[in-house]
Amino acid sequence: MKTFFSIISFVFCVALSFSQDSHNLDFEILENNKAQDWNVFGNGDYKISYDKTIYQNGNVSAVIESTGDNVQFNALAYNIPATFGGKKIKLTGYIKTENVSNGWAGLWMRIDPQVAFDNMQSRGITGTTDWKKYEIELDYNSNAKKIVIGGILSGTGKIWVDNLVVTIDGKPLNKAPEKELTKPQLDKEFDNGSLISFTSLNKTQIANLDLLGRVWGFLKYYHPSIGEGNYNWDYELFRILPKYQKAATNAERDLLLVNWINDLGEVKVCKSCKETPEDAVLKPDLDWIDNSGLSNSLIEKLKYIQQNRHQGNHYYIGMMPSVGNPDFKNENNYSEMTYPDDGFRLLALYRYWNMMQYFNPNRHLTDKNWNNVLKEYIPKFIDAKNELEYELAVLEIIADVKDTHANLWGGGNKIQELRGNYFPPVHMRFAENKLVVDDYFNPEMQKDIGLEIGDVITHVNGKAIEDFIDENHQFYPASNQPTRLRDMSRDILRSNSERITINYIRDNQSFTKELQLFLKDDLKYYGWYRPEKDGKSYKILDNNIGYITLKNIKNEDIAEIRKEFKDTKGIIVDIRNYPSAFMPFLLGSYFTSKYSPFVKFTNGKTNNPGEFSYGKDLSIPPKGKFYKGKVAVLVNELSQSQAEYTAMAFKAGDNVTIVGSTTAGADGNVSRINLPGGLSTMISGIGVYYPDGTKTQRVGIIPDVVVNLTVDGIKNNIDEPLEKAISIILNE
C-alpha cells in the first residue's frame, strides 16, 4: 500500500543504491534540467527549477517558486537509506528567500518510520533574506529505515536552496558508526510472511482469538522482558498461533498460554509498582482476566504480571516529552506488504485494539463498549479478501474510536481509488443537513459549470445524498456528525467517471444536469477553506470593530494588533480555520486581566498501562495592558484540534463570547500509529478537559451563542455567525 502524510509529515521516497559519500546534496548533477535523485511533492501552484546564476556553492541551486493563487506548499525531497548507526543526525544547508509570506520557508528532515521530524515551521523563514546557513538536528536510533531531507516553501514567494550536508554525531555519512540492531530487529523469521492461514471461523475459534489478542496485548505492555526489548512481539504471535489453533479444549488452550508466559522468563517482584489511584479518570480495564472463564493457573500468572509489571523505559511504548501523549515505538508498518496475509491482518487488529485499550485517553467515549470490539472485528480482518477490503476493515475500526484525529492518514490508496480520481469543480459543504454549493475552485469556470452558489444537491447518479451518508458513515471517522458531514462533503461528488448526473434545487425548483468532473491537479482545489490572497491577518471592520483571522496569523502580528485595536468597540477572532501560529497564550493574554485557568489534561502511564489521571490546571497569564472591550470568537466544524484549544484559552478571558456551531471535538496532541500494509493513523493522545472536568472530546467547544450556517446565508453571501458577532459587540 502506498503511504502519504500531511504537510507536517508527508514523505516522497524512492529507493537509492549508492555509497554514503555520493549523494547529490548540492544539486550539481542535473539530468534533463532536473537534479539527479531528487523528487518533488506538495499541493498548489508552484514551479521547481535549478538556477545556474544564483547559488551559494558550486554552480547551481534549487529553486521553489509560487506561481498562482492556489498556494499551499511544495517541497524538494531526497531519500537516504538508514544503513548506519549513531545518536544524532544533523542537516545543514543554505537558503535564500524572496517575498515569502502566508507561510514560511525552511529545511526539512524526517526519520522514518515515526522516529523524528522537523520542517522548521515554528521558526520558519519569511520575507526577503540573503543566503544564510540553517540546521536541523534530530535524535537518531536503530529504528530508522530511511532519512528524507530537503527544502520546503509554504505559502507565496521564492526560495533558493543549496549546499546541504548530513552528518551523524558530527561525522560525514561515510564515516558514520555501524548500525546496531536490537534483538527484535535481528529476528527475521517472518519477514516474508506469517505462514498463518485461517479457514472459516466458528464462534469458539473467534472467542479463542479474542482471548489471545487480549493476552498478547497485555503481555506486550505489562511483561518486563517484552518491555525491555527482548522479543519481536509481532513474530512471537506467529510462533504461538499454529499451536494455539490446534488446542482442542479450554484447558489445553490455557496451559499453552501459561507455558508461553513461562518461556518469557522469570518476573521478579516489583518494588516500585504502585496501585492505581482511586481518583484516576480511567483505570486499567482488566476485568476480562476474571470474566473469561480462564483456568486458575492462567489467572494467577496474568495477575502476578500485572502486580509486577514492567517499569521504566519500554521498548514499544513511551510518552512524548513535555506533552505526555503516547509514543508508539518500534512498530513496523510492513509497507512492502501490499495486502498482508492472514497472520499480519490479525496482527494489525491486535495491535490497534490494544493501543486503544491501554493508551487511548478517550476510550470511554466511544459509542461501543471497546471490550466488545475485538471480537466483532476478528472475522472482518481475517475474511478481508483483498487490499481494498483490508483497508476498509481498518478504516471502520478507526471510525469506531470516534475521534476526528483518527483517520487513515497513511496508505488507503485502494479506498481513494474507490472514491474516484475525478473531482467536482465546485466546493461543497453541509448547511441545514443539505449539501450546498458554496464556492468554485476555478472562478473562471463558473459559466461553464452551470451551478450557482446556494444550489442544493439532492441526488448523485440517482442516489439520494441521505442514502450516501447512511451507507458510508462507518468509513468516515469523526468525533461528531457535523464533522463527519464536513469530510463527506468532499467525496460525495467524486467519481471514477469524468461525468456524473446530479439533481439539485434552486429557488425551490428541481433540476437535473450532467456535471463534468476534473482531475484534482486541474483544479485550484482546497479542502476546508480557500487560502488567503491577502497576507494580512487583521483589519478594522465598519463601526470600528477589529477582526482577526487565525488562518494566516503570525507571531509578529500581535504587537500591531494590540496597538491598532486598543480603541476599537470590540474584537472578533475568527477560528473557523486551523491557526497558522500558536496563539493561546500570545494573543489570549491580551483578553484577560488575571491568571485564568482554562484547561487540564489526562495523561497515560507506561508504568501502569490503562491508567489516565489529571494533571494540574493550565492558566492564561495576563501580559501588558489587557483589552477591556467585548471579544467574540467564531467557531464551527472547521475548528479542530489547536483551533479548539485556542478557543478554550480565549474563552477564559474577561469578556469573551463564543459564537457559531459545533467544533470538530478532537483536541490534544496527536499520536501516530503504524499498521501492517503501510497504513498509519492517529489518535488524540491526551484527554482535554475544562478545569471543572467537563470533557471536550467529541463534544467540542460549545458556543455561548449558537449560529448555524443556512442555505440562504450561503446563497446570499451572508456570513451569519460574523453578523451575529458584530451585533453582540454593538449590543443590537
- CA distance linking residue 476 with residue 234, whole number of Å: 29
Instruction: Tell whether 128 and 261 lie within a shared domain.
Output: no
Instruction: Tell whether 407 and 429 lie within a shared domain.
Output: no
Residue type present at position 481: Q
Would you say residue 198 lies in a domain? no
- CA distance linking residue 197 with residue 182, whole number of Å: 29
Neighbours of 293 (CB within 10 A): 10
Q: Residue 504 maps to which CATH number?
A: 2.30.42.10
| Residue where a domain stops, chosen among 522, 553, 577 | 522
Nearest to 377 by CA among 187, 257, 210, 532: 210
pLDDT of residue 145: 82
- CA distance linking residue 162 with residue 12, whole number of Å: 20
Q: Residue 665 maps to which CATH number?
A: 3.90.226.10
Would you say residue 330 lies in a domain? yes
Instruction: Tell whether 375 and 450 lie within a shared domain.
Output: no
Instruction: Tell whether 679 and 595 lie within a shared domain.
Output: yes
The answer to whether 305 and 273 have CB atoms below 8 angstroms apart is no
Q: Residue 164 maps to which CATH number?
A: 2.60.120.260
Instruction: Tell whether 420 and 460 lie within a shared domain.
Output: yes
- CA distance linking residue 320 with residue 339, whole number of Å: 31
Instruction: Tell whether 634 and 571 lie within a shared domain.
Output: yes
Would you say residue 190 lies in a domain? no
Would you say residue 118 lies in a domain? yes
Total domains, the chain: 4
Instruction: Tell whether 230 and 355 lie within a shared domain.
Output: yes
Q: Which three cell numbers stand for residue 369?
A: 463498549
The answer to whether 357 and 365 have CB atoms below 8 angstroms apart is no
Instruction: Tell whether 216 and 327 lie within a shared domain.
Output: yes
Would you say residue 192 lies in a domain? no
Instruction: Tell whether 405 and 424 lie within a shared domain.
Output: no
For residue range 435-450, list pLDDT tens digits in order.
999 999 999 999 999 9
DSSP 217: H
| Residue where a domain stops, chosen among 364, 380, 412 | 412
Would you say residue 7 lies in a domain? no
Would you say residue 331 lies in a domain? yes
Would you say residue 146 lies in a domain? yes
Pseudo-torsion of CA 149, 580, 671, 391, nearest 10°?
Answer: -80
Alpha helix positions (H), 228-282 = 233-246, 250-263
**Residue matched to cell numbers 548533477:** 29
CA distances in angstroms from 129 to 51, 71, 93, listed in the order given: 17, 20, 14
Q: Which three cell numbers stand for residue 442?
A: 476555478
Instruction: Tell whether 295 and 340 lie within a shared domain.
Output: yes
Instruction: Tell whether 254 and 401 lie within a shared domain.
Output: yes
**Residue matched to cell numbers 498556494:** 71
pLDDT of residue 533: 59
pLDDT of residue 103: 86
**What stretches in the chain show pLDDT beneath 70?**
1-21, 114, 532-534, 732
- pTM here is 0.85
**H or E stretch including 69?**
strand 61-81
Q: Which domain holds residue 442?
A: 416-522
The answer to whether 237 and 343 have CB atoms below 8 angstroms apart is yes
Instruction: Tell whether 441 and 376 lie within a shared domain.
Output: no
- CA distance linking residue 308 with residue 224, whole number of Å: 8
| Residue where a domain stops, chosen among 462, 496, 522 | 522
